Amino acid sequence: MSSYGQPSLGFTANQLQTMVITTRVASSLSLLGVLVIITTFCLSPRFRNPMHRLIFINAFYNIFDSAATFASRAGPEAGDDSAFCQGQAFLNQMFPLADVLWSLVMAIDVYLIVFRHYDARSLKKLEWKYIVAVTTVTFIPAVAFLFLRSSNGDRIYGDAVIWCAIPPRDPSIRLSSYYLPIWLSIFITLGLYSRIGVEIIKRRRALMSITNESVQLDDTVLPMPPTPPGVPSSRQKPKTESDIEQPSTSVSCLHARTPPLSVPPTPSSAQISSPPPPLRPHSSLSFRQYIMMPLLFALTLFSVWAPSTVNRIIPLIDPSFPSTYGSYQLLVVAGTTCSLRGFFNGLVFVLVGRGSRKQRHEKRQRRVITV
């Protein structure tokens, strides 16, 4: 049994049972969300842009996360020294932090799109580096805590009421190795989106194109190569969001890294009488899928982590608080929201993608009507 003993937790049997029910229901929804992400990504090419790919990769991390939260109090009831409790705590230490880091990775991708003009192929080449970095950063401390001991000689992992994790008896370890990197990643993520938002708003064309679901990223319009004599002149069709999502094409928000080649003009009567060369369309960024989706993904982190963080801080600020484990109400909310990570990810993945698909369909209908 847990070294704390069930009565010393300060919660009744009914309260503990309520925590188990809420966390398991929420974890089931998360597993459903993960299933939706994986199924939709595999079956629908419309859900395969770089942002969708990152959420798809994160879904496999969410599986382990949801498995740990679904176990709920089975870990503490097995005892702090049990392999089950230690394994559950390992998963609870590694994968929730990985979920936050994947949100930061999405913000980095959007930053690279806007400021470094990365295309889909360039972003895809970074994915294995992201996987290695996120896995390494979260795996090393999670494994180390399995073997380390606290200053009192106790295991780092133990009974944290809702499940096994770093318990309140080691607040400094819990805050420095868990909540501090989580909130640091969240603030960096929001800082990147703020920087991106300011840059987009600076560009007047981008501000006007947001309503059309496409944000212009170029400041200048470059002429296309002149049409050779005898070849019918046609304007290049601007790439749409559907073009972005095709696996064989690059993201349309990125102009080429090399300047367009100019064809030396050949004097001819046909060329003299030809109309001015068409202008190359601006490169554009899908506002909904490349900004709104990861931004919503980041904002959901607040609803996930605010209750548990407040619950950890209250006993430190108020030593007279009746329980070192925090408030029962906050524990229920924290257990529920932390167990819904996969569900929130699936919701953002599907709703934003469906909204973009609907707008593309409406645009095609308007083009047909005008023609």
Q: What is the reported pLDDT for 243?
A: 44
Q: What global pTM score does this model have?
A: 0.75
The whole-angstrom separation of Cα 25 and Cα 335 is 11
In this prediction, residue 323 carries a pLDDT of 60
Mean pLDDT within 313-322:
73
Q: What is the pLDDT of residue 364?
A: 52
Structure-block tokens of residue 180: 């501090």
- For residue 311, the model assigns a pLDDT of 83
How many Cα atoms are found within 13 Å in the side-chain-facing hemisphere of 87?
9
Can you tell me the distance from the alpha carbon of 96 to that of 322, in angstroms, rounded to the nearest whole number?
Answer: 28
Tell me what the mean pLDDT of segment 353-371 comes to: 51
pLDDT value of position 193? 87
H or E segment at 39?
helix 13-43
- Region 278-305: mean pLDDT is 65
Residues 6 or more apart whose CB falls under 8 angstroms from that of 346 comprise 30, 32, 33, 34, 36, 37, 59
Q: Which residue has the higher pLDDT, 171 or 139?
A: 139
Question: Rounded to an integer, what is the distance from CA 301 to the centroid of its chain?
Answer: 9
**Distances in whole angstroms, Cα of residue 197 to Cα of each of 153, 206, 342:** 49, 10, 27
Mean of pLDDT over the chain: 77
Higher pLDDT, 370 or 311: 311
Distances in Å between the Cα of 102 and the Cα atoms of 78, 84, 131, 330, 343 are: 32, 27, 9, 26, 15
- Report the pLDDT averaged over residues 312-321: 75
Range scoring the smallest mean pLDDT among 32-46, 81-95, 224-238? 224-238
- Which tokens go with 218? 């170029």
**Residue 344 near residue 304, CB atoms below 8 Å:** yes
Q: Please, which residues have CB within 8 angstroms of residue 86's CB and are 6 or more apart in sequence?
A: 146, 155, 157, 164
Check pLDDT > 90 for residue 56: yes
Residue of 317, 241, 229 lying closest to 270 (CA atoms): 229
Over 90: is that where the pLDDT of 351 sits? no
**Share of residues in the chain with pLDDT > 90 (%):** 43
Categorize the per-residue pLDDT at 4 as very low, low, confident or very high, splitting at 50, 70 and 90: very low
| Distance, CA of 33 to CA of 223 (rounded, Å) | 46
Q: Is 214 helix (H, G, I), strand (E, B) or coil?
A: strand
**Contact predicate 69/30, CB 8 Å:** yes
pLDDT of residue 288: 58
pLDDT(279) > 70: no
Question: What pLDDT band is residue 203 in, cutting at 50, 70 and 90?
Answer: low
pLDDT (0 to 100) of residue 301: 85
